[in-house]
Amino acid sequence: MDLTGKVAVVTGSGRGLGLAYATELARHGAAVVVNDVDPAVAEAAVASITAAGGTAVAEVVAVGSSEAAQALVDRAVAEFGRLDVLVNNAGILRDTTLWKMTDEQFDAVLTTHLRGTFTCTRAAAVRMREQGEGGRIICIGSPTGQVGNFGQTNYAAAKAGIVGMVRTWAMELARAEITVNAVVPVAATAMTETVPFLKPYVDALAAGDPLPAYARQELGFGSPEDAAGLVAFLASDAAAGITGQAVGIGGDRLALWTHPTEVVVEFADGTGWSPDAIADVWPQRFAAAHQTVGQQLPEPPQ
């Protein structure tokens, strides 16, 4: 998977999944603009990439505003002459239940995740279209955006919105040969270390212990590095025909998420649906097809 000559911007890449993505892209030959809000973290990430033989520079900026997005694109062009790949990874958490969530907690998460993905993609798309040589835009979703999660109103809204934008941008940018896809990762990061059912596996990875097959396959959970190969693949020429997709990755598990789709359809007889008519038909035709919410965990091995 040769990315030599490609230039990538990876937002929120000072640590965790973002650093794994940036490191993997550089390992395959791409020059990378690393981004973080902490200068020391960003420079440490650059140092680790260059020490391994890669090429990287740091751009310290808080993702969200149009100005921050343009600064990232401008840095890539100033340092390396072009932009070929954008990975929208930057994110924060402000978890709490609906009735306790403040406007500030809601807005902060949507600003970084949703608005930041929009502003960075817009700036990157303008540059890629000007170059006229196509491009790769990779946005980071979450299982929470697909199925919901307790205490994550803001995060679920942002991640679901990102996948919706990916579907739209895949159509809008197709003529320019710019692919747009969403990666839905599950890995041991600061964002998953507080999830109770994942804690034993987070602790095992931190201790350097191997994960059981149940964690790596059934839960699709592993290290950030386990999720990085998908990003390098989607950034490559081999993925030229893939766009508008939401792809799950974690541990040993690779999965393609489907669209939300109708599972039961009934028709009224030319009169529309009254409340009483819906009440009559629902138990027989719809109740058995109610959809689950939250992640449905497989039974662990006995």
Active site residues: 142, 155, 159
Single-letter amino acid code for the residue at 25: L
SS (H, E, C) 262-284: CCCCCCCCCCCCCHHHHHHHHHH
Cα–Cα distance list, 20 to 38, 68, 72, 86, 156 (Å):
17, 22, 19, 14, 23
What is residue 121's DSSP assignment?
A: H
At residue 132, the 3 state secondary structure works out as coil
d(CA 130, CA 118): 18
Under 8 Å CB-to-CB from 183, ≥6 apart: which residues? 138, 139, 140, 141, 227, 230, 231, 234, 247, 248, 249
Residue 272 CB partners (closer than 8 Å, separation 6+): none
Beta-strand (E) ranges in the chain? 7-10, 31-36, 55-60, 85-88, 135-140, 178-185, 246-250, 253-256
